[in-house]
Amino acid sequence: MSMSQSESRAAERNRDLSLLVAVSLAVLGAALTWLYFIALSAGAAPRLADLAYERLPGTGVSNPVTAVLLNYRAYDTLMELAVLLAALLGIWSLGPAAPGFQRSGAVLAGMVSWVVPLLIVTGGYLLWVGGYAPGGAFQAGALLGAAGVIVRLAGDPRAGLPGEGAQRWLLVLGVLVFTLVGLGLMAFGAGFLTYPPKFAKWLILLIEMAATVAIGVALAAAYVGGRPPGPEAQPTAEDEDALTAAETPTPDPTPALRPQP
């Protein structure tokens, strides 16, 4: 077989394959168009938002967002807390946190002294108001995490968090309480995370309180960037040298001119 004949047959196979692909795509497009017109002619189906609002009185909260997160799809929220915990464990597996930091000056220390308590109080407010208005555990936990970031920037190597052992308990608190509530409901004959309407509000509030603490600790610890330093953590020698050099005035290299007699 000559080279020209093999090239001709290869070109024919490519042409046949291209034609087959084109026909398949045309058939698929026609089928999708047909299904689209069938869906349009079938009329509007019940919207999920309408169904969510219809069942809202039995969720224990009047905020539909909180109802969706902690009642309708509580499994997803539980897994989100587990993913956040797994992410922080991955950060800790990288080794100890970098010790580099500098002590805050008077202006930053003064700002921290009133901004951090304000963030904590606002986080508590968002946690409580989440049952009937925009807010909830994730927003409150984000504010607590921001407070930890500010404390870290002000010179605290642990971002205001307790020791590693206490951090571990606080980090698993959200997943632990979430799971225990679900198992407790199963023990009393209900489904996993199927809240009785009479106790739904307080069970959701309990879960949100634990989730707020876990989210805040996880975000602040993630900003630290490694396993938490011990309680005796102090600035390293390099940090002290850099701070001393920054505080020491640089001598003027220009020689002083003496007055001529």
Local mean pLDDT, 10-residue blocks, the chain (261 residues): 67 83 92 86 71 83 86 90 93 81 77 91 92 88 94 86 89 93 90 88 92 94 82 49 49 51 49
What is the pLDDT at residue 44?
64
Q: Which of 165, 158, 168, 160 is nearest to 226 (CA)?
A: 158
Please name the residues in contact with 78: beta carbons below 8 A apart, sequence gap of 6 or more: 175, 178, 179, 182, 193
Transcribe 34-50 into DSSP letters. HHHHHHHHT-PPPPHHH
What is the pLDDT at residue 239?
47
What is the pLDDT at residue 121?
95
Q: Which of 97, 113, 126, 109 is nearest to 215 (CA)?
A: 126
Give the Cα separation of 224 and 255 in Å (integer): 46
